[in-house]
Chains A and B, each alone.
Chain A
């Protein structure tokens, strides 16, 4: 099959502090609180929870009778300390909540991929077909030849990715939004119709279910159209999240099927390194993208980002799209669920004020349609925090976003582990835990550094280490233990 590739870039967004400053006051925050603490707690979240170790629970101005004898300087310090402690706890709880908001969809995607791999043999069968991006076969006579072939394959793939990222950055820089939008639209069209049709077909084959063409056509048509609407326009949040998870899983399955084994591992490693460089180096394409978006004060490609919360629509005049705005104007006071537009966006927990949205161009193996529409980009721009109405529910509004590329590569790693490892479930479990811990660490770093960060490197590194270690070291050990029924 002929699949052009889309480049993927991954970023993590940190939460902008201005957004928090614009929103309503947090409960229990005292005016004498130092700005640093306020910023930190804002960045954390507004979830307050009294804790046994917290001391004065949130009351900064509490003056108990025991404090009368103390010098006046002690009291503000103690107040600030108590508040800082509580801020830390609130930050921690808020951060934990966001981590779980990402754990659940990542886990679901991985579960779907592993379940499919284990039951539908199509995705592990070698049909002899290859992508045009990996032209060198891995069924060679010698190990050295296989290694060389896989290195060449990975090189070609990463070159294509780099080229496409640059193309995307150039398109974005010169404001060719329509091209990008059309590209993304066609991509999602392909995924939602063609790939899901193939998936259904293979599932029916596996379970020997007879299905007539008319029913199948109706099912696929409905699935696809509802998916396009949810992803590119509006839809219930859960439905949109479910669709994003499904297309990530489909994409990961395609990768698992068509990438030969060594090539797949090499690509995973190389793309993590590329992600790191592209996001953190000053001349990296993704960094340029982010900075351009910052300058223009608009979000980058809201499409292809999994969003865990609703996005507030703002009433802002937009002469380009009067029709759409009139529809949105009426809903300005109410929080409306807006589907996160599909876009080739890097994974990034970002705040939904845009600006720092990291774009992630996902690798697609087909003629990628535009997964993001310009209108969506415009709409995202308009949802800037400054124009937002004050929010009472701080933490609910500031959700996290993760680019679909991360979903795809995490699931691809776990799926490949379950497909090829002879240790079966142990290896799969180990990779799963490793990826989740990597994601947790990445989010922690995000909370500390507060700038765009790549989400792939840590998780993929842990995943790869645990895959190879478990498959080669732990598996023989556990097999022997299970044989004798020893327990450790």
Chain B
């Protein structure tokens, strides 16, 4: 519970996302706007899910803890489904740049990660002992890693989802929704972090590879890029704006 924990967890959670933002989005004003629009849409979907959950809690039995937990799980599932409906609105923006999908997916991820972890980070600055009542001592660290996975996953899901919508491949869309649900349901097993984090990371890596190939990448491109021999990439970066 020190500044070290705070900064460490912040950078774990948001490091990849912020570096993505700085390298690909910060230079183009239109992409920044799409990022914020993505964040906004995620927020709206969360609002609707919370509304439904709130109403269901009000009309339910507040004493029963298992019922509350069940309602919470229902709320989680509902919010996941709502989140997946919002990218459908992005059909409207199809005429715009292809980067849009990645950017709005990152916006989704940013907002999702921020809402999950920001209060935890704020608490980690102050004094305290983690897990003093017998809970896990790795609360902060696991939250940070989970957040990073979620942010990147949102971005990958956005790319794959949009591609599936565009090519009318509904099994792709369904796969995205199902994997989102799976990841959320895996978190129900917290604090057994091994059983929730490891599968999440496996799913994240596979989604990442799938998104990479969906976006037109290939091993050849990757090799050229890594060895700085990709002429298109180099030319693109020198293009006058």
Residues of chain A at the chain B interface (Cβ within 8 Å): 49, 51-53, 92-93, 96-97, 99-100, 103, 423-426, 429-430, 433-434, 436-437, 440, 466, 469-470, 472-474, 476-478, 480-482, 484-488
Contact = CB atoms under 8 A, between A and B. Distances in A.
A434 to B, nearest CB: 7
B150 A487 contact: yes
B29 A486 contact: no
B66 interface: no
Q: Say which size band chain B's interface belongs to.
A: 35 or more
Interface string B176-190: 000000011001101
Chain A binding surface, main DSSP class: helix
A286 B200 CA distance: 56
Contacts of B114: 425, 429
Contacts of A487: 116, 146-147, 150, 183-184, 187
B83 interface: yes
A426 B119 contact: yes
B187 A485 contact: yes
Interface in B28-78: 28-30, 32-33, 36-37, 39-40, 43, 46-47, 49-51, 53-54, 57, 68-69, 72-73, 75-76
A408 B36 CA distance: 21
B234 interface: no
Contacts of B68: 480
Contacts of A52: 98
Give 6 nearest A-B pairs by CB, closest first.
Answer: A485-B190, A100-B29, A96-B29, A96-B30, A473-B50, A477-B50
Contact of B112 (A51, A100, A423, A488): A488
Given A426-B119, A477-B54, A487-B116, A93 B29 contact: yes
Nearest to A103: B32
Contacts of B47: 466, 469-470, 473-474
A486 B36 contact: no
22 contacts: A52-B98, A53-B95, A97-B29, A99-B33, A103-B32, A423-B119, A424-B119, A426-B119, A436-B36, A440-B36, A473-B47, A474-B47, A476-B54, A477-B50, A478-B50, A478-B116, A481-B76, A484-B190, A485-B142, A486-B72, A487-B184, A488-B83
B115 A429 contact: yes
Contacts of B30: 92-93, 96
B108 to A, nearest CB: 11
Given A485-B191, A486-B188, A473 B54 contact: yes
Nearest to B30: A96
Contacts of B5: none
Nearest to A483: B72
Contacts of A466: 43, 47
B80 interface: yes
Interface of B: 28-30, 32-33, 36-37, 39-40, 43, 46-47, 49-51, 53-54, 57, 68-69, 72-73, 75-76, 79-80, 83, 95-98, 111-112, 114-116, 118-120, 122, 139, 142-143, 146-147, 150, 183-184, 187-188, 190-191, 241
A469 B53 CA distance: 13
Contacts of A472: 54
A399 to B, nearest CB: 13
A426 B46 CA distance: 12
A424 B29 contact: no
A81 B12 CA distance: 48
Q: Which of A53, A423, A433, A466 is the most central at the interface, judged by chain B CB atoms within 10 Å of its CB?
A: A433
A434 B40 contact: yes
B75 A433 contact: no
B43 A433 contact: yes
A430 B29 contact: no
Contacts of B53: 477
Given A426-B118, A477-B50, 9 more contacts: A53-B95, A103-B36, A429-B114, A434-B43, A477-B75, A480-B68, A481-B76, A486-B76, A486-B184
A437 B146 contact: no
Nearest to A477: B50
A82 B183 CA distance: 45
A93 B43 CA distance: 26
A486 B190 contact: yes
Nearest to A429: B114
Q: Which of B29, B37, B97, B98 is the most central at the interface, judged by chain A CB atoms within 10 Å of its CB?
A: B29
A97 B43 CA distance: 24
Given A96-B29, A478-B115, A485-B190, A437 B40 contact: yes
A103 B33 CA distance: 9
A487 B33 CA distance: 26
Nearest to A93: B30
Nearest to A438: B40
